[in-house]
Structure 1
Amino acid sequence: MLRTLKELFGALAEPLPAGQPADAEHRLQLATAVLLVEVMRADDETGEAEREAILAALRTQFDLHADELERLYDLAHAASRDAPDLYSFTSQLNKGYSAAEKARIVEYLWRVAYADGRLSHYENHLMLKLGDLLYIPRGDFVAAKQRARAAAGLAPD
């Protein structure tokens, strides 16, 4: 498994080949999934609600079957544990997504943060960091946060 993860991180660092759209899509899927898992792991209180929020986000964002979602989640969890930083993942999203698509990803990240009904200061800190790494304008960042709070049934800040 270690060799596989080393290959994965090496592949994420390489430039995208021109004729490989499937590889580019897989990189975006994995990078997105890893960031979702990172938010889940931010406060050391991982629960089923957060896991379900991740799977719902991946299901909405990508056209994947249930078994593919589970494999992606498992791979993202392993990659998240072994990742030296978040840059390799956020840079993939910056290369592969438009500003509007990245704002939608940020909303999914907020939904994971709010899945347990509260936002820890660790989750908030990570979200601020991810918003900066993804170059999300502050207004779009706050709007995504408010939509996620409303989706979780929480009152606005």
Structure 2
Amino acid sequence: MLKTLKDLFDSLLPPAPGADPRSAEHTLQLATAVMLVEVMRADASFHAGEREAVRAALRDKFTLSAEEADRLAELAEATAQGATDLFAFTSRINERFEMPQKLRMVEHMWRVAYADGHLSDHERHVLWRVADLLHVPQGAYVHARLRAQQQAGET
């Protein structure tokens, strides 16, 4: 447990010059997973559909196995509980993702929000805040929402 927490804190520090590229990739994966989990945590209760949407997004985004996505999602939940802000995570994403990757991530976040069949004001706020921190233009943000809404069968 202690090693896992140390690894977590180390992953949030800027990578040292010449650092292992796998470490940077793991940090990016964790940052992305935390953003997805933040949407799930925005509701008063967790819904199984939301958890599955987080895992599906991680499998899609990073080509992870089901077991790897489960493990990453669990680590992200623990990390999100102890987080004091979103900037530490969104800054990592901004460093590594181009706009199309950010848009895909925002769309996955909307899918998590719609997974329980109910979109709360808090979920909407978290999504808006993350999209703003990722410098996603308003029009692209709305289109990502519409794509996720259409897939979820919402109107």
Q: For residue 63 of structure 2, give the secondary structure of its aligned residue in structure 1.
A: coil
- Unpaired runs of at least 5, structure 1: none
Whether the 8 Å contact between 1:5 and 1:79 is mirrored in structure 2 is: no
CA RMSD of aligned residues (A): 1.5
State the alpha-carbon separation in 1 of the partners of residues 151 and 64 from structure 2.
23
State the alpha-carbon separation in 1 of the partners of residues 11 and 39 from structure 2.
23
Whether the 8 Å contact between 2:55 and 2:66 is mirrored in structure 1 is: no
C-alpha distance after superposition, 1:6-30 (max 9, x if no partner): 5423431324544522111111111
Whether the 8 Å contact between 1:16 and 1:24 is mirrored in structure 2 is: no
Q: Does residue 42 of structure 2 align to residue 42 of structure 1?
A: yes
Instruction: Tell me which residue corresponds to 2:74.
Output: 74
- Unpaired runs of at least 5, structure 2: none
Query: Match for 1:56: what amino acid?
Result: A
Instruction: Tell me which residue corresponds to 2:131.
Output: 131
Q: For residue 119 of structure 2, give the secondary structure of its aligned residue in structure 1.
A: coil
Alignment of 1:1-150 (within 5 A): 1=1, 4-5=4-5, 7-15=7-15, 17-150=17-150
Q: 1:138 to 1:37 in 2, by over 3 A?
A: same
Q: 1:17 to 1:110 in 2, by over 3 A?
A: farther
Q: For residue 52 of structure 1, give the secondary structure of its aligned residue in structure 2.
A: helix
What's the % identity of the aligned pairs?
52
Q: 1:130 to 1:124 in 2, by over 3 A?
A: same
State the alpha-carbon separation in 1 of the partners of residues 74 and 50 from structure 2.
14
TM-score (norm 1): 0.92
Whether the 8 Å contact between 2:87 and 2:133 is mirrored in structure 1 is: yes
Whether the 8 Å contact between 1:43 and 1:123 is mirrored in structure 2 is: yes
State the alpha-carbon separation in 1 of the partners of residues 24 and 139 from structure 2.
29
Deviation at 1:125, TM superposition (A): 0.8
Whether the 8 Å contact between 1:90 and 1:133 is mirrored in structure 2 is: yes
Whether the 8 Å contact between 2:39 and 2:123 is mirrored in structure 1 is: yes
State the alpha-carbon separation in 1 of the partners of residues 19 and 3 from structure 2.
26
Give the ranges of 4+ consecutive aligned residues of structure 1 lying more than 4 Å apart after TM superposition: none
